[in-house]
Structure 1
Amino acid sequence: MNRTERRRRRLLELITAGEEDVDVLAAAVEVSASTIRRDLAALAEDGRITRTYGGAVPARPLAEHPLTTREALHRAAKAEIAERALDLVEDGDSLLLDAGSTVAAFGRLLVGRRVRVVTGNMALVAPLIQAGIEVTVLGGVVRPLSMGVVGPLAEAVLRRLTVDKAFLGADGVVAGRGLCEARPEQSALKELMMAQAARVVVLADASKLGMAGQPCWAPLPGAWTLVTDAQATDEQIRPFLRTAGVAVLRGPRST
């Protein structure tokens, strides 16, 4: 990733956090206002922001892609994150697994581990059961795009359970703000997942850090862990490290 793209990613983070003014954005990334205007024009052309008088705001929500499409995106990064996240799993753990392709990649690596799993990720249910892992399936309505369950039935089951660790994905994750999703029922379920877990782990590749392409939010707890891939830059990671209670694991699994 070159310097211009790193700067534009930082601008997206600032705009997502609510900053709109060109002069303030210029001071934050230490470039001229004219450079910021060119950056904003490029970001608007890409559909990542909407220009306003004197600044910019986040663009309208991005279109959701089906699970099969998302599984093909950033495949190497997701595999790296899944391997790294295994460092957080101990024998005997009870694990809550969210929907999504990155969590699915992690879940498939649990074969052979002595754990118990609670999940609404329908893509994982059969493989985990066939591997001999005890699985509790959340009820609810299945979203075909994600193959994950949502709704009051899923929430009712989840309120009766607690787990050691919850592993969550998201369409985007913003330091100090939370996880973004396309639908309010998704963000509501994620918020409840975090409340029912002793430890919260978010699995997100570099493309999702600081990104807010969807309108619905699940606030993060005071303490949580981000697992990302080696392509995540120091600039992307810095806002998370500045947030009290946040631990970051980046890059290949430790040996």
Structure 2
Amino acid sequence: MLTNQRYEKIMDHLNENGMASVNELVDITSSSAPTIRRDLTHLEEKGLIERVHGGAAISHIEHEEDYRDKAVKNLSKKIKIAQTAASLIEDGDIIFIDAGTTTYEMLPFISQEDLTIVTNSITLIEQLVRNGHRTHVLGGRVKPSTKAVVGPEVIDVISRLSFDKCFIGVNAIDTAHGLSTPEEEEAYIKSRAIRQSRNAYALVDSTKFNRSAFIQFADIEDAFIITDDVKHSFIEKIKSRTEIYGGEKK
């Protein structure tokens, strides 16, 4: 099993169960104990887990990461989610696409026509324009760590717009705190975009389940959830509170 595949299996297991022993992780990855210990050391250095005696536990507080680090993590999950999200767009829609590494993966799958796309992500601009979409970039200060445009100017403009749909990146989700993100300025933008949209979609891979970040920007009921694992135990807990999308368009 490749290293990144082991990381993904370890994180999936910890997100599902909260904690695990080294022996459990050896079994589910078919790896040696020394390999698992090295993997756990790496994941702890990234702030994703906490080492405990004989194993590891999930780190439940999500911190802000650099865009380049996030972009390569859980990529297969992000692509699956992005494809489902793009399938929900219809010809002629006016949409908002949030800054984020999962929303970025939507771009190859957006083939609908006559779209107007608003974004606060500097990474989306070039590809959207190249693909022939009417593209509006919100003006403000660029955050180097997330490539997001933030600031009061962004909030002011979004407050005067209306969207058919918005697609929002999420750092963490749990039943108590809803949808959350580590950074206050981005939280305001996500919250306002949801309020200005007829339909709001939160793109959440399963590694974000049962976690929280510093700022809550929406309740679970405020957005439909698009995820990679609709059979996860966390989804069972929230499916009565909102619509869940995963794999195929509903």
Q: 1:102, 1:203 within 8 Å by CA — same for their partners in 2?
A: yes
| In 2: Cα distance, 1:105 partner to 1:4 partner | 24
Task: From the superposition, tell whether residues 175 and 132 of structure 1 become closer, same or farther in structure 2 (CA, over 3 Å).
Answer: same
Verify: 1:144 aligned to 2:144, yes or no.
Answer: yes
| In 2: Cα distance, 1:184 partner to 1:162 partner | 22
Task: From the superposition, tell whether residues 69 and 41 of structure 1 become closer, same or farther in structure 2 (CA, over 3 Å).
Answer: closer
Secondary structure of the corresponding residue to residue 78 of structure 2 = helix
Task: From the superposition, tell whether residues 142 and 4 of structure 1 become closer, same or farther in structure 2 (CA, over 3 Å).
Answer: closer
Secondary structure of the corresponding residue to residue 122 of structure 1 = coil
Task: From the superposition, tell whether residues 85 and 197 of structure 1 become closer, same or farther in structure 2 (CA, over 3 Å).
Answer: same
Which moves more between the two structures, 158-167 or 85-94? 85-94
| In 2: Cα distance, 1:141 partner to 1:69 partner | 21
1:188 is aligned with what amino acid?
A: Y
Specify which of 14, 18, 23 is matched with residue 8 of structure 1: 18
RMSD: 2.8
| In 1: Cα distance, 2:117 partner to 2:137 partner | 8
| In 2: Cα distance, 1:88 partner to 1:194 partner | 16
Identity %: 22
Task: From the superposition, tell whether residues 240 and 113 of structure 1 become closer, same or farther in structure 2 (CA, over 3 Å).
Answer: farther
What is the CA distance between 1:42 and its match in structure 2?
3.9
Secondary structure of the corresponding residue to residue 17 of structure 2 = helix
Q: 2:117, 2:135 within 8 Å by CA — same for their partners in 1?
A: yes
| In 2: Cα distance, 1:219 partner to 1:254 partner | 23
Q: 1:165, 1:201 within 8 Å by CA — same for their partners in 2?
A: yes
What is the CA distance between 1:153 and its match in structure 2?
0.7
1:148 is aligned with what amino acid?
A: A
Verify: 1:204 aligned to 2:204, yes or no.
Answer: yes
Which residue of 1 is the match for residue 232 of structure 2?
234
Which residue of 2 is the match for residue 247 of structure 1?
243
What is the CA distance between 1:47 and its match in structure 2?
7.0
Task: From the superposition, tell whether residues 47 and 189 of structure 1 become closer, same or farther in structure 2 (CA, over 3 Å).
Answer: farther
| In 2: Cα distance, 1:76 partner to 1:170 partner | 17
Alignment gaps of 5+ in structure 2:
1-8, 20-49
Matches within 5 A, 1:1-255: 5=14, 6-8=16-18, 42=52, 46=56, 48=58, 59=61, 62=63, 64-111=64-111, 113-175=113-175, 177-212=177-212, 214-220=213-219, 222-230=221-229, 233-243=231-241, 246-250=242-246, 252-253=247-248
| In 2: Cα distance, 1:46 partner to 1:223 partner | 33
Q: 1:191, 1:220 within 8 Å by CA — same for their partners in 2?
A: no
What is the CA distance between 1:176 and its match in structure 2?
5.4
2:68 is aligned with what amino acid?
A: T
What is the CA distance between 1:186 and its match in structure 2?
1.2
Q: 2:87, 2:109 within 8 Å by CA — same for their partners in 1?
A: no
Q: 1:95, 1:163 within 8 Å by CA — same for their partners in 2?
A: yes
Task: From the superposition, tell whether residues 42 and 238 of structure 1 become closer, same or farther in structure 2 (CA, over 3 Å).
Answer: farther
Q: 2:88, 2:249 within 8 Å by CA — same for their partners in 1?
A: no
Alignment gaps of 5+ in structure 1:
10-39, 50-57
Secondary structure of the corresponding residue to residue 135 of structure 1 = strand
Q: How many residues were matched structurally?
A: 210
1:144 is aligned with what amino acid?
A: P
| In 2: Cα distance, 1:121 partner to 1:192 partner | 16
Secondary structure of the corresponding residue to residue 237 of structure 1 = helix
Q: Deviations over 1:15-54 (max 9, x none)?
A: xxxxxxxxxxxxxxxxxxxxxxxxx9849x85745xxxxx
